[in-house]
Amino acid sequence: MGRSNIAMTEKNHSTRPEPEVCHASVFFSGRVQGVGFRYQTLQVAKQFEVSGFVRNLSDGRVQLEAEGGESEVKGFVAEVKDQLSVFIRQTESSSERRAPRFKGFTIAH
């Protein structure tokens, strides 16, 4: 009986889910396409430990998806808003904790 308990304990430890990260989805509207918004966002991302992407949407908005440590993600989004505020008219955002899905930060097409 003691042996099966040990085996079950070892199995439970080996199948642990990945640690959760903070994930933010942000949609920017305004004059955000054709002004270097995605490129500048990529440059800002290099200053933070975040993964994800930025892309233009067909409706004229820019979508930003970022994940990482909570302070890194919040700092990154705040810096994007600060550096690109002249182009942004409105921002819609949501955040959640989830398993990581991205590797690196890219401009998506």
Kindly list the catalytic residues: 38, 56
Cα separation, 47 vs 35, in Å, equals 21
Asked if residues 104 and 68 have their Cβ atoms less than 8 Å apart, the reply is no
Distance from C-alpha of 95 to C-alpha of 17, rounded to nearest angstrom: 20
**What span, in angstroms and rounded, lies between the C-alpha atoms of 54 and 88?**
15
Say if strands 50-56 and 105-107 run parallel, antiparallel, or are unpaired. parallel
